């Protein structure tokens, strides 16, 4: 067997691209980004097995970082430890990873959140206000009502449209309850 | 009306009606006529069914809903035709021979007491294309971890809307919202209130 090749050039562009490609496949649901594609585009001089090892290492690091949703302090400590390890990363690589995470953290975290939303959620909402011109009861004529259409559904499934009528009293009732939710939410963000 | 009742196949539910104890059947008819009179937003079929089942009677929500629909049709048609109590009972008897005696008694009583006050317009049917909002329940949760992410820490609101569908049946509809979605939801209702006030 030939002597091992020199490690691939560690210019920030290829590694950054690699991390992007890994994220595309793992977090943004892009199945077209294969290992072969990445190697050809970013590391054409690297042998397949070596590239495979690099991709696996970087993928593992990114997964650890994303799973812990690391803030800058945690990230710094983590990456520093990785540079000190046997078979770890270089400080140049650490810098590229840190920059990548700073730019993509929110989007990756959101994607992870979405991966665990399995219940019905509110996809969209529209409304209009009608004037009731006909009614079963004479006293309801010319009262304004809000017609609300809510699009509900589970991730990746067909939506269900819920169409509801609210008169002024019902809207007040709703607002009261929504205020309660908002209050609870404020308390929650204050204590965490 | 006799033909309509026959078409609805009231006979098929007669034996189901027979299963329901008289006081529960009376409660059902009361709710139906109150709904037709706009005193209540809908008929709590699911809740009533649960209580009937607890009393030891085997009946499912689907059957109870079918019964409710038929009785509702019966009362609203009778209202449209201005039937007196005796006329209603006679018509019922002509269409459905198998209806249990206690059920007929309940129908007679409920119609006698409250049938007069039902005012049904020709366009009543067209009105009911949307559901009525009845109530809202909520809870606020935080998803801490998942199999794909150890540190999710994402707050979300779960809301259950109690709605009365066009036929009057009350059902629950639940869904989740993220914080930004909730804020948007809240804002939309505030806008709605503002518009309703000015119209």
ipTM of the complex: 0.75
* A47: pLDDT strictly greater than 80: yes
Helix (H) or strand (E) holding B142: strand B131-143
State whether B190 and A152 contact (CB < 8 Å): no
Residue A7: exposed, middle, or buried by beta-carbon count in 10 A (0-12, 13-18, 19+)?
exposed
Q: What is the mean pLDDT of residues B42-53?
A: 90
Q: Cα distance from A97 to chain B (closest Cα, Å)?
A: 19
CB-nearest to A170 from B130, B133, B174 is B133
CA angle B56, B61, B66 (to 5 degrees): 120
In chain A, ranges of CATH 3.10.450 domains: 120-190
| Per-residue confidence (pLDDT) for residue A9, from 0 to 100 | 46
Residue B85 has pLDDT above 80, yes or no: yes
Residue A104: per-residue pLDDT: 96
- pLDDT score, position A111: 92
* Contacts with B131 from chain A: Cβ below 8 Å: 162-165
Cβ contacts of B142 on chain A, cutoff 8 Å: 188, 192
Which token pair is B122? 């020709």
pLDDT of residue B126: 40
Mean pLDDT value of segment B21-45: 89
CA distance A186 to A182: 6
Q: Name the least confident of A140-144, B101-105, B133-137, B172-176.
A: A140-144
Q: Whole-angstrom Cα distance, residue A165 to residue A150?
A: 11
Instruction: Evaluate if residue A5 carries a pLDDT over 50.
Output: no
Report the gap between the CA of B181 and the closest CA in chain A (Å): 8
List the single residue in A129, A137, A165 with the smallest CB-CB distance to B195: A129
Q: Where in chain B is the domain with CATH 3.10.450?
A: 130-197
Q: Which residue of B has its CA nearest to A166?
A: B133
Closest chain A residue to B149 measured between Cα atoms?
A67
Instruction: Name the pLDDT band for B6 (thresholds 50, 70, 90).
Output: low
The answer to whether B148 faces chain A, any CB pair under 8 Å, is yes
Nearest to B193 among A122, A137, A171 (CB): A171
Picking from B130, B140, B158, the nearest residue to A164 by CB comes out as: B130
Q: Is the pLDDT of residue A7 over 60?
A: no
Nearest to B182 by CA among A176, A162, A178: A178
pLDDT of residue A6: 44
A167: nearest CA partner in chain B: B196
For B130-197, give the CATH class: alpha beta
**What digits encode the pLDDT tens for the residues A59-73?**
999 999 999 999 999
Of A112, A144, A174, the CB nearest to B189: A174
A contact test, residue of B123, B148, B194 with most A CBs within 10 A: B148
Q: Give the pLDDT band (50/70/90) at residue B41.
A: confident
Give contacts of A134 with chain B, Cβ < 8 Å.
121, 123, 126-127
Which one is predicted more confidently, B141 or B118? B141
Average pLDDT of chain A is 87
- How far apart CA A59 and CA A18 sit, in angstroms, is 9
At the topology level, CATH places domain A120-190 in: Nuclear Transport Factor 2; Chain: A, (3.10.450)
Which residue of chain B is at minimal alpha-carbon distance from A139?
B38
Selected residues 8-67 of chain B with any CB under 8 Å from a CB in chain A: 38
Number of neighbouring beta carbons within 10 Å of residue A17: 15
pLDDT at A141 over 80: no
**Is residue B123's pLDDT more than 50?**
no
| pLDDT averaged over every residue in chain B | 85
Chain A residues in contact with B175 by the CB 8 A cut-off are 119-122, 150, 152
What pLDDT is stored for residue A130 in this prediction? Answer: 84
Looking at per-residue pLDDT, the higher value among A2 and A93 belongs to A93
**Nearest CB partner across the interface for B176, out of A120, A135, A162:** A120
């Amino acid at each position: 067997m030939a002597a091992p090749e020199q490690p691939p050039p560690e210019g920030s562009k290829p590694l950054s691209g690699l991390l992007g490609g890994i994220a595309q496949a793992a977090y943004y649901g892009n199945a077209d980004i294969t290992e072969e594609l990445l190697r050809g585009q970013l590391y054409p001089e690297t042998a397949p097995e070596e590239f495979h090892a690099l991709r696996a290492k970087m993928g593992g690091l990114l997964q650890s970082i994303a799973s812990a949703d690391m803030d800058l302090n945690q990230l710094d400590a983590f990456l520093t430890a990785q540079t000190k390890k046997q078979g770890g990363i270089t400080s140049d690589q650490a810098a590229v990873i840190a920059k990548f995470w700073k730019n993509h953290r929110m989007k990756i975290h959101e994607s992870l959140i979405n991966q665990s939303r399995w219940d019905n959620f509110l996809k969209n909402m529209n409304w209009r206000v009608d004037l009731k011109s006909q009614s079963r009861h004479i006293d309801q004529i010319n009262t304004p009502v809000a017609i609300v259409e809510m699009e509900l559904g589970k991730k990746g499934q067909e939506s269900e449209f819920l169409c509801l009528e609210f008169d002024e009293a019902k809207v007040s009732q709703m607002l009261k309850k929504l205020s309660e939710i908002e209050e609870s939410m404020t308390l929650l963000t204050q204590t965490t | 009306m006799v033909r309509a009742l026959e078409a609805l196949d009231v006979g098929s539910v007669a034996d189901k009606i027979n299963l329901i104890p008289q006081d529960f059947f009376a409660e059902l008819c009361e709710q139906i006529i109150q709904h037709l009179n706009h005193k209540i937003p809908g008929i709590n079929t699911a809740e009533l069914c649960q209580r009937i089942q607890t009393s030891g009677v085997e009946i499912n929500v689907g059957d109870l809903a079918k019964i409710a629909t038929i009785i509702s049709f019966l009362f609203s048609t009778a209202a449209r035709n201005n039937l007196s109590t005796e006329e209603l009972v006679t018509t019922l008897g002509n269409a459905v021979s198998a209806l249990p005696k206690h059920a007929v008694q309940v129908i007679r009583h409920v119609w006698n007491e409250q049938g007069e006050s039902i005012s049904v317009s020709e366009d009543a049917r067209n009105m009911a294309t949307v559901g009525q909002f009845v109530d809202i329940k909520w809870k606020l949760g935080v998803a801490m971890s998942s199999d794909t992410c150890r540190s999710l820490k994402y707050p979300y609101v779960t809301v259950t809307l109690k709605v009365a569908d066009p036929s009057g049946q009350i059902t629950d509809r639940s869904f989740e919202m993220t914080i930004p979605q909730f804020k948007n939801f809240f804002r939309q209702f505030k806008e709605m209130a503002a518009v309703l006030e000015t119209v």
